[in-house]
Amino acid sequence: MARSRAAGAAVRVDEAPRQGMRVDSECLEWEMTDPDEATTLRDLIEVVNGPSHPQPYLVEGPPGHFRLYVGRAAERVRTARGIR
């Protein structure tokens, strides 16, 4: 089974999140307090948001605050940001 390089940033279900994480109605949001983990997610933005992958859609803003969108929400956010 292939493993993602972002596996270190994943939160296991049986653990409490180390940083502020919440599930919103259209996305998964989290605050990164560890600069190394934030850098890892920033590096993944270009990979995840590539033109051959319409979803999921990963965005950062403000710095250290990440959102992961899937499904219709991903399409809506991509279009709103000018990515077609």
User: Are the beta carbons of 57 and 68 closer than 8 angstroms?
Assistant: yes
User: Are the beta carbons of 8 and 37 closer than 8 angstroms?
Assistant: yes
- pLDDT score for 68: 94
pLDDT at 82 over 90: no
Indicate yes or no: pTM above 0.85.
Answer: no
Residue 40 identity (one-letter amino acid): T
